[in-house]
Amino acid sequence: MSAPYYGRIAPLAVPPECGAQAADWTLHAQGHWQWLGAAVYHLRLWAGPGFIWADYLRQPFVLALDFERRLAPGVLAERVLAEMRHQGRFSQAQAQSWLHTLHGVLEPAAAPLRLSAQHDGEGELRFARDGVFAGVVQDADFTRLFLGIWFHETSTLASWQMTQPTSSEAHPWP
């Protein structure tokens, strides 16, 4: 029997680590990612009123990923870096630095796990694992490429792009 899917038991609310600035944020979209037919995570986008998709890099929001499966150490960081390469070019030195950063904020990726990436609208990303601060990245290139995994039209994950939830879709699991 597999571990319960974190999204099934988590309250449908802005992650508490977002603090007071997120008091008026609402769920703007959600999606999920599967690999070889197996669910890997469910994704939710929380943002303030008037969030504009095309201008996401200049707006505060949080992406919350609820993982269903345990991933082997390093797999998530390597996959994220590979997806970032699809968004744009960067040097080998940047790749090594970013991979080190990704290992620090993403590992261990054990189910159940909620990973949140809070964007401040100015290029900073604050990461938390299960509500506990995991690190901050103040690198505009990293932020653009990391968020591009879910937002950019060239993303290899574009086929599962988030959709605006309706009231019946807000929590689709039994």
Residue 100: CB partners within 8 Å, gap ≥ 6? none
Q: What does the pLDDT average to over 47-59?
A: 89
For the chain, how many helices (H) and strands (E)? 4, 6
Domain locations in the chain? 32-159
Q: Considering only the top CATH level, what class is 32-159? A: alpha beta
pLDDT tens, residue by residue, 85-141: 988 899 999 999 999 999 888 876 555 678 899 999 999 999 998 888 889 999 999
Position 166 pLDDT exceeds 50: no
Q: Which carries the bigger pLDDT value, residue 172 or residue 147?
A: 147
Quote the CA–CA distance of 79 and 109 in Å, as a whole number. 12
Using a pLDDT cut of 70, give the percent of the chain over it. Answer: 79
